[in-house]
A and B are shown apart, each in its own frame.
Chain A
Amino acid sequence: MSYLTIKDLTVRLKNGVPLLRKVSLEVKSGEVRALVGESGAGKSMIGKAVLGILPRAAKLTGGEILLDGEDLLTLPPKARRAKIGAKVALIPQDPLTALNPSRRVGPQITDRLVDILGWKRKQAEDRAAELLDEVHIQSPERVMRSYPHELSGGMRQRILIASAFAAEPKLIIADEPTTALDVTVQKQILKLIREMQERHDTALLFVTHDLGVVSKISQSLTVLYAGMVIEETDVRTFFAEPGHAYSRALLAATPKYTDPDGSLMPVPDSIISQVEQQVAAFDAQLKR
């Protein structure tokens, strides 16, 4: 039973230019689905649509977002926000801009629990300390009294992971959570996200452009181009036999130190024009 189901989601700019073209996907509880694409493919936009934080210039013009069987888009705004707040969390890309630099870390984790879920402050603080311990932070009490600038990038990302899991969400959207980190820290963080996700049986939508990361974190993936789903498959099938020419090209562009000559190949123009045609044909079909 899928926890998040997106059906025919269409998002357009105010002037009608489509950003997402009838995107459909599912994420089951306990499953990690990667959303892959180049910059501008609309992968972050899907996460934003689910969280209800689309930029002002973008407008959701069609489709359904079912969370646990309930369509978020038909709920009244207040009920929708309450539901998203209680069930969905975000692990953002840049841990430095996601934390308020002028506040200590502790309250930034507990605020959500106190404000949205109505926990007692003390109870929330205990939970935060417990979570920091779970993300392998030594001396949680000291860290909770620190300011973000006193901590390293890896530490900050651990804190955001802890705070994402704090309210036991059923769905987490991770928007390129390791792009700002170096490889050794990235490895720790990916392992940590996986470990936490398995322990809490959370559905995870993992946005990334790095197919190396995809192969480490997810069971299934959706490839996007220009806001359109190009391919949807499980990870093993994808890496053994990508179904779409664009997916194959993307895989060939991914750096692979074990195969220096067979990797890092730019996506050929012929394939770009092939997918562009596919997108144009799709748009034409929609107009009819």
Chain B
Amino acid sequence: MSDLIYRVKDLKVSFPDLAHKPLFGAAPRTSVLKGLTFDVARGDVLGIVGGSGSGKSTLGRAMIRLLRPDSGSILFEGTEIAQLGEDDLRPLRKRFQMIFQDPMSSLNPRRRVGGIIAGPLRLQGFDDIPRRVDDALEMVGLPKSFSERYPHELSGGQRQRVGIARAIALKPDFILADEIVSGLDVSSQAQVLNLLEQLVRDLGLTLAFVSHDLSVIRRLCSRILVMHHGEIVENAATADLFANPQAEYTRTLLDAIPLPDPDQVWA
């Protein structure tokens, strides 16, 4: 029990469907997550895959309570957080952090890297902030001098490292990484993934890694949730999933990945 960091039960999320909103009255709701149940063990690297619109990002955002689910239960280290208000969530926020997809829009262009990383530390009342900022930069393999730079002075891969540094500076128990390498080219992609692998190993991070790319997920993740139309169609250990995919949709996804091999023929 104690080694489970998350217990999610029958989680449901819906959004208002504004395209069909009547002139007066409430918009009808579109169901995005249709009752999801799963656990995340401490130290797990959970891959969440699915096509666009499958609800994978919504699931991640519900887990770190960036949105409030309609119903269902989210136990985070034994605390029920599904319906907590913002005031009660604030002390918990330092324990789950997020790394965003697009580092250019998730880093304030008018602040220096040091200030960006220090921001959440200050909000959460940490002491010894300059040292923590330096440590975080060191952990993501950036020189300390980078804290004086602005985001636009960095390359895509370096910006994403800053995003990672901001998340790990708080020493969280859980990090959500939402499509964090999809905007990078292959070499920086490989570097960022290697970095995450190393951080998982060194810091014992528990990570949820949202992606549409199963190749990337295979390297990093220990378990995989496959999502399709707001439901979990497969939940398996990584090795099992690749050796013996159970769901039809998982096979479709695997099939669609273009391998760098001219002999792979697409049906």
Chain A interface (Cβ within 8 Å of chain B)? 38-39, 150, 152-153, 181-187, 190-191, 209-216, 235-236, 239, 249-251, 253-258, 260, 263-267
Contact = CB atoms under 8 A, between A and B. Distances in A.
Chain A contact residues: helix, strand, loop or mixed:
helix
B156 interface: yes
Contact of B186 (A215, A235, A255, A258): A255
A256 B259 contact: yes
A50 B252 CA distance: 37
Contacts of B257: 183, 212, 257
B52 interface: yes
Contacts, number: 109
B254 interface: yes
B192 to A, nearest CB: 9
A185 B254 CA distance: 13
Interface residues of B, number: 35
B219 A264 contact: yes
A215 B189 contact: no
B232 interface: no
B237 interface: no
Interface in B195-236: 212-216, 218-219
B105 interface: no
B256 interface: yes
B143 interface: no
B187 A266 contact: yes
A63 to B, nearest CB: 26
B186 A210 contact: yes
Contacts of B190: 253, 264-267
26 contacts: A38-B185, A150-B19, A183-B51, A183-B253, A183-B256, A184-B253, A185-B52, A187-B266, A209-B185, A212-B259, A212-B260, A213-B258, A214-B260, A215-B264, A236-B262, A253-B187, A255-B189, A257-B259, A260-B218, A260-B219, A264-B190, A264-B216, A265-B190, A266-B190, A267-B187, A267-B190
Contact of B51 (A182, A258, A264, A266): A182
A185 B252 CA distance: 11
A213 B253 CA distance: 15
A255 B185 contact: no
B40 interface: no
A266 B191 CA distance: 5
Contacts of A185: 51-52
B194 interface: yes
B266 A38 contact: no
B242 interface: yes
Contacts of B154: none
A182 B187 contact: no
A257 B258 contact: no
Nearest to A37: B185
B3 interface: no
Nearest to A186: B256
B261 interface: yes
B183 to A, nearest CB: 9
A239 B264 CA distance: 12
Contact of B216 (A38, A190, A255): A255
